[in-house]
Structure formats: structure tokens, C-alpha cells
Structure 1
Amino acid sequence: MPTPSNTDTLPQGTRIGRTALRINDLDELTEFYRDVVGLSVLNESETRSVLGVADTPLLVLEGDTDAPLRHRSGAGLYHTAFRVPSRAALGDALARIRDHWQLSGASDHWVSEALYLTDPEGNGIEIYRDFPRDDWPHSDDGRVRISTEPLDLEAIEAAATGDAQAPPRTDIGHIHLEVSSLNTFRDVYIDTLGFEMQTTVPAASFVSAGGYHHHIGANTWHHRTNPVSGRGLSWFEVVVPDQNALTAVQSRLESSAIPVTETESGLTIHDPDEIEVRIRVE
């Protein structure tokens, strides 16, 4: 859907940056995201690993051996979605999953082809590649249409090249959250941060900036009622293209009831489910 030229919506070029997970077994999870997802270890210490592609960090693993299990009714992560640039890269991801782990699902979403799995501590993962943007279906009001259809895994497998690593231009295309209320999700992420609604399905909403199919998904499928806590999602980043966009976000936040913390790199807020969102300039 076209993005209006005003200060009420996020501009073209807005994207999801890094995602951080609070985990127990740092060595196991570092190895998993390296060998199965195909990320490179860019930096590591006794309590933290940073993984990504080339020199670009995508995932921060925060080791905390005392962190309790995520509360069964707690909000948080549904999945982190790693976007690869080609069907060949998706085929390579499928091969790594089959060699080292277990595939839990696969779908043709009309806008993308996606593989699903869960890491050793229960954090959801999607690895996907987009179809060309001109091929995405749209509804009469201009919004992108998303569906869930069976994926031709044989075609994905046939495209593989045998690469053990995720290629350059892999990024985090979107993040999908489990929230306690879609109404309060929309209040924060649409009315305040400035994302735009793209698609709704029963008990889920998908929002984006610049007409992308979705940068953030949110669902209430598992009836979460408590704030985020324990292991799982620690924080994620929304990256805006310039200082003007950040200033506009800050202005909208200051007009809302959401507390804002200014940091060296940008702004930090906590949504109604206490999920930490960090907003910074590209």
C-alpha cells in the first residue's frame, strides 16, 4: 500500500535490525545458529554471542544460566524471520536443517517461500525468500495479500548449491510477536510508531513500512496474557533511514503515554507487553 508523505507513518527504507534472545546454553545456541541457520560468529564472550553475515550483525545471544523458562502465558517471540536473497540460498538452508536439525513447517505465502523450525530452547525461526515485489498480490485497497499454501519442497531442494553459510544480503526481514492484545499492539505499532496495516487473518495482524508485506507480525493464537519474561525475546530493533524519521517517531511517542529512553544510538521503548523495542537511524 502506498506510503503517504507525512510524519505519521514510517518511511520507505525502514527495516528490522538486530534481534536479541535471552538464553541459557550459550555454546549450544551459538553452534545451532552457526550450523543450522548458517550465520557467522562475529563476536563472542562468556556471556554473549553476536552472529550475522559478512560484517553485519543480525542476532545477539545473551547467555543467562539463571533465566527461567518463558512463562507459558507470557508474551514474546513467535519467530525471528531470516530473509535470504534467493531460492538457491533457501535450498541451502533446507539442506542444513535436514542435515543438522528438523524442519517443522514450510509454506508458500504468495509473497514469499518460507521454512519453519524451532531452536533448542524453543525460539521460533523462519527462513524465507521473497518473490519479486511486482508479483505480490494486492487487495482492492492496495494492501498486500498474504496466504498460507503448501510449499514445493522438491523445487527448493533442487535449487541448493551446497553452501554451508547464509549468503551476503541475508537479513532479518521481519519479526513475529505473540501479544496479549491486538488492539494495544495496533495502538503502539501503527498509531504511535507509524507502521501501516497490511494484512489481517483471524487473531493476527501484519504491519509494515513502505509497502513491504510485513515487518512485524503479531498474534494472539496462544492466548498470552502476561508480559514478556524469562528466556526468549530480549529486544529487537526498528531501523529508520534518517534522523528526520527518528525525530518524527520521537514526537509521536512524546504525544503518547509510552515512556521513552534516549540512548546513544536512538530511542528505547517498552510496549504494553513489556517487549523492548530499540529505534535507531540506519
Structure 2
Amino acid sequence: MATPASSQTPVGPDRVLAEAPYRIGAVSLVVRDLAALTRFYRDILGLRILLEADGAAHLGTGDTPLLVLRHDPDARPRQPREAGLFHTAFLLPGRGDLGAWLPHAEKRGIALTGGADHLVSEAVYLDDPEGNGIEIYVDRPASAWPRAPDGSVEMRNERLDHAGLVGAAARPWSEMPAAGCVGHVHLQVGDLDVAERFYAHLLGFDVMCRYPGALFLGAGGYHHQLAGNVWNSRGAPMRSDGTTGLAEVALLTDEQTLASARVRCSEAGVATSADGDALVVRDPWGTHLRLKPQPGR
């Protein structure tokens, strides 16, 4: 693993994610109804529309893109047992932000698909109108994350303190806070061992937690920037082109981490391509990963 590099702005309750050698940039989804999905992410999640051009909508906070919706009205809807996206996880700065979002979602008639206290974080789950999974969560300070004797992070599904979250809100929800970001992306994969070889051995993530049917991968000590599970997709082959759902995940990194990943992919014979200073590689199930050096890191 590369040594964590410095970052100009902290994210979350402490700097562990901001200083990690990998962070999630923008997540790109292929959607059939661009107008409806754009309204959903603007009105429900509070993302700002930054750009609408060339059949795509770019949404985020301030001038930072977090989500790109690519329009393809002819795309085949992805099936639940295919590899691809499990959820995009939007990280809020504090408990009060999540507490403010909960009554906002209720007033909008949004049905949550779940909620849990994971010990390292508190999270709720929902789907967008085309079935793309979403998590909205807030981290506990890294110093409070329970750890096993081997240093791995312990994560569980405990009852969410819904009332406590709502009570922590200082003001009503208006939009995604400026410090909000995509904290992690959780994938459906066909095989956990294959996922570990690709994401840990090639890209350089650490296995932070092993859970029945799932693998949580972090960098720089964060509980996970990426995860993969086989709960619905065990044995899934590479996805075919022309389907809705996850198209690409941008990974913001430092030069040393990028260079190391490039060398490992080359030595393993993994096909890559260059797009400017970015390295583009496909995971074993066809998802594009764009490793981009972040200025100042």
C-alpha cells in the first residue's frame, strides 16, 4: 500500500478518509429516463445539477461532481442477480445531517429499504426509480471503530437509533452539504476470491472486514471505499454491454498509488488504457475503474 497522502479538506468527523490514498470520485450510471433520475437525485438527495450536456447530467456539491447519469433509453434493465452496483453510498458530515434528511425523505414519500447501525457508521438504504441502490450514511470517528485482534474492522447490523438521529438535526434538510461525498461504492460480484485478487492484490486496497458473503476493502485505514458481495450474484459472469446501472467508478488517488497499480496490472497482464493522466481498467465483471491522480496529493 502507498503511504497516505495529505489532502486539503477533511471529510467526515476526522481525516482518515481525506488522507487515504484512494477516495471515490464520481460514480457514473447508465439510465433510461434521464429527466426522472435527475429530478430524483436533485430533489431527494439534494445534489446540485452542475452540467447537462451530450446526453448526460452531472450532479454534485459546489463544483464537485459526485454522480454522472448517462442517458441510454434503449439500455436493457440490469437484472437483480447480475454483477454491478449494490449501492452508491453518500457520506454526510454529521449525525444531524442524516437526522435532517430522514423527515425530508418521509415527507417526500420515500420508502426506505433498510437501516442499520454498523458500529463504524449509521446508515439508511433506498433505491432510485430505476432500482439503483443508494446508501446515505454518517461515520463514527475512526477512533471509535471496533477492531479485531488482527487489526481488521468489526462491522455488524445493529438497530438504528432513528429517534436519536432525528433529534440531532439542528435545521431542516435543504440540500446535500458541501462536505458531502461518495464515501464508498458497494458492488455485486460473482466471486469474492476473484474480487480480492483484483481489488486488493492489483489495485492495492486492504481487506478491512470479512463478512458472510461480502468483502469490505479500504485504503489508508478507512473501513471501506469499496465492497463486494455475492448475496444475489454468486457465480455471475461479466456483464454484457448495453445495460442500465453502474458504468464507471472514478477513484481519486495520489501519484505513487497510481504508479504502483499501473505496474501491478502490467505485470499481471491485465488490460488497461490511458485517458490523459488517468488509468482505466475493467474489473472481472466489466465495471470500469478510472484511477485519477488528484491535484495536490
Alpha-carbon RMSD across the aligned residues, in angstroms, is 1.6
Report how far residue 258 of structure 1 moved.
1.2
Q: Is 1:238 matched up with 2:251?
A: yes
Give the secondary-structure state (helix, strand or coil) at the position aligned to 1:110.
Answer: coil
Aligned counterparts of 2:250 and 2:268: Cα–Cα separation in 1: 20
Alignment pair present for 1:208 and 2:221: no
1:194 and 2:204 equivalent?
yes
Q: Which moved more, 1:248-257 or 1:221-230?
A: 221-230
Q: How many residues align?
A: 275
Q: Classify 1:96/1:226 alpha carbon distance in 2 versus 1 (closer, same or farther; 3 Å).
A: farther
CA contact (8 A) 1:136 1:145 kept: yes
Partner of 2:197, secondary structure, is helix
User: Secondary structure of the equivalent of 1:129?
Assistant: strand
Is 1:226 equivalent to 2:237 in the alignment?
yes
Give the secondary-structure state (helix, strand or coil) at the position aligned to 2:165.
Answer: helix
SS in 1 for 2:270: coil
Please give the per-residue CA displacement for 1:216-259, whole angstroms capped at 9, x wherever unaligned. Answer: 11000013413234100011011112x22211111111011210
Unpaired runs of 5+ residues, structure 2, are: 5-18
Where does residue 10 of structure 2 map in the other structure? Answer: none
Matched, 1:178 2:191: no
1:1-282 correspondence to structure 2 within 5 Å = 12-45=20-53, 47-100=55-108, 101-160=110-169, 161-224=171-234, 225-229=236-240, 230-241=243-254, 243-282=255-294
CA contact (8 A) 1:106 1:115 kept: yes
Structure 1 contact 42–52 (Cα < 8 Å) conserved? yes
Q: Offset of 1:4 from its aligned partner? A: 7.2
3-state SS of the aligned residue for 1:166? coil
* Cα distance in 1 between the residues matched to 2:73 and 2:259: 38
Aligned counterparts of 2:164 and 2:54: Cα–Cα separation in 1: 41
Contact 2:2 / 2:256 at 8 angstroms: preserved in 1? Answer: no
User: Which moves more between the two structures, 40-49 or 171-180?
Assistant: 40-49
Q: Percent identity?
A: 38
Name the TM-score, length of structure 1 as normaliser: 0.94
Stretch deviating more after TM superposition (180-189 or 91-100): 91-100
Structure 2 residue identity aligned to 1:93: W
CA contact (8 A) 2:248 2:288 kept: yes
Query: 2:51 touches 2:59 (CA, 8 Å); kept in 1?
Result: yes
DSSP-derived class of the 1:102 partner: coil
Q: TM-score, normalised by structure 2?
A: 0.89
Name the stretch that deviates more: 68-77 or 117-126.
68-77
Q: For residues 98 and 222 of structure 1, do their structure 2 counterparts lie closer, same or farther at Cα, with a shift above 3 Å needed? A: same
What's the secondary structure of 1:154's corresponding residue?
helix
Q: Deviations over 1:50-107 (max 9, x none)?
A: 1101111000000110101113432000000000001111112212221222111111
Find the aligned partners of 1:274 and 1:4 in 2 and give their Cα distance: 26
Aligned residue type for 1:264: G
1:26–1:61 contact (8 Å) kept in structure 2: yes
Residues 29, 246 of structure 2: 8 Å contact kept: yes
Consecutive unaligned residues in structure 1, runs of 5 or more:
none
